[in-house]
Amino acid sequence: MDWTGRVIVVTGAGGFIGSHLVERLLSEGAQVRAMVHGDPLYRPGHLKGVQHERLTLAGGDLREAAFLRELIAGADSVFHLGAVTSVAYSYAHPEETLATNALGTQNVCEAARLARVRRLVHTSTAGVYGDARGPKPITEEHPVMGCNPYTAAKLAGDFVAQTYHLSYGLPVATIRLFNAYGPRMGRYLIMPTIIQQLLAGPILRLGDLSPTRPFTYVDDIVDAFLLMAAADGIEGELVHFGASESISMGDLAALIGKIMEVRYELVRDPSRLRPARSEIYKSTVDHAKATRLLGWRPRVDLEAGLRQTVAWFQRTRELNA
């Protein structure tokens, strides 16, 4: 698709994936309205310092319906990435998490409906499957469950998006992500936790090392968003995007240690354990539908992506020293 001149709205634009998506859209010629978290501090996140004649920053809150109606009016497409994304934060702030991820999604859908957008791409998470049942990779037909406040709120948002398609004909397609990683990713996540501890010294404090995850590099994720926005005939579809192979947290730590050339002492830290009944122990993804509908496959292997991620954290640490 030729994005030149198209007015595109990105919510959560100052975040990890959102900022990479904004940069790609600008490189493709789009006019981008980038919604960042609006509070008294007006935080542009990873778009801080980014200046472009086709970029407009808009600070606001997903719970503000009038703000979203104004933001989305006249837009061609909307990429909805804005959300409370921290599982740990959701335990302490369940009401805010639900209001942002569920009601916020309803506000985006309603604004998109009124604006008659060509496509709304809604962002979901593999966390809604909880601790996946059975040995096979997870397909789009796998049962869902809210195993913590974050996943419950995201699942509610997914159903809102589906309802707007079925009830109002909103041209929404849902992208369900499996453990995106790369430069700018949240520092509270497992990869940055390992990297930052090893940058500080040879002691590595972790919780359970057995859970597995399929990590997907951010460039592959941005490809997925653009494909979902451009493809014909996928309105109402839910599509998985994730790497084929999963890795345990213990093996991930070992691989990062190898890349950083650090010999470390591993200390098991009980304070880093999640409640056992809400931990997701096994996560594997089937992305056959993404390949069939869109020709998507992950291009960046884990070690190559990790090297880019480690290098970014090393650079930012040096800049902040």
* Nearest C-alpha neighbor of 216 from the set 175, 173, 254: 175
The number of CA neighbours under 13 Å toward the Cβ of 45 is 26
Exposed / middle / buried, residue 276 (Cβ in 10 Å: 0-12, 13-18, 19+): exposed
Chain center to CA of 36: 15
Q: Among 239, 100, 125, which Cα is nearest to 174's? A: 239
102-to-62, 75, 97, 213, 298 alpha-carbon distances in Å: 10, 22, 8, 25, 29
Q: What is d(CA 146, CA 142) in angstroms, rounded to the nearest whole number?
A: 13
Separation between Cα atoms, residue 176 and residue 136, nearest integer Å: 18
Residues annotated as catalytic are 150
First to last CA, the chain: 43
- The overall longest dimension of the chain from CA atoms, in Å, is 57
Separation of alpha carbons 151 and 176, rounded Å: 12
